[in-house]
Amino acid sequence: MAADTDQVQGKNRGGRANAAPAPRLRERYRAELLPALQRDLGLPNPMRVPRVEKIVVNMGVGDAIRDNKLLDAAVADLATITGQKAAITRARKSIAAFKLREGMSIGAKVTLRGARMWEFLDRLLSTALPRIRDFRGLDPEAFDGKGNYTLGDDDEGRALLRALGFPFAGLPAVSQVAS
């Protein structure tokens, strides 16, 4: 409760002034969804209710083996999309058939937590997904059994983001959002 009092006074836990209001999806989760999930799952303690811990946005750039500029473009695109600098991912082991050596740069990723995570999820659910043509909902089979959910696939994700106005300079052309 002390953190809520600090936020009312215009400061966060570190004593610094808040730059932005609390994300609206987080507030809705705490006010509406958390109590409903607790009731539906029959959990006595609200801390046992499932919650979103982090969102990892990654982009594999297989052609980065031949052209390193593609990887730079992917890092710039992820920074534009998430508002945070992307980390370059490297190959864990060599695969001769793909001319891939251990330690080569093959992609980029961004891990979102806290307010940035809630803002990204809010934009994804309220803006991006409804703009997909013939959208029929998210696939419940995309859960991996450990609580992780995978969304998007190769060109679909980039096409969706292109439709939202994100520039993808330097990456190969992608077809329009599925019709």
Both structure tokens of 144: 């991996």
Residue type present at position 37 = L
Among 133, 151, 131, 132, smallest CA distance to 141 is for 151
Residue 170 has pLDDT above 60, yes or no: no
- Of these ranges, 48-52, 100-104, 120-124, the one predicted with the greatest mean pLDDT is 48-52
> 41-74 pLDDT, tens per residue?
999 999 999 888 998 888 877 777 777 788 888 8
Structure tokens given for 66: 């031949």
**Number of Cβ atoms within 10 Å of the Cβ of 91:** 16
Higher pLDDT, 118 or 8: 118
Fold of 55-163: 50s Ribosomal Protein L5; Chain: A, (3.30.1440)
What is the pLDDT, as a whole number, of residue 68?
Answer: 77
pTM here is 0.70
Rounded to 5°, angle at Cα 117 from 112 and 119: 140
Of 68 and 121, the structure prediction assigns the larger pLDDT to: 121
Residues of the chain with CATH 3.30.1440.10: 55-163
- pLDDT top residue among 175 and 20: 20
User: Would you say residue 157 has pLDDT above 70?
Assistant: no
Pick the more confident residue, 114 or 70: 114
Burial of 131 (0-12, 13-18, 19+ CB in 10 A): exposed
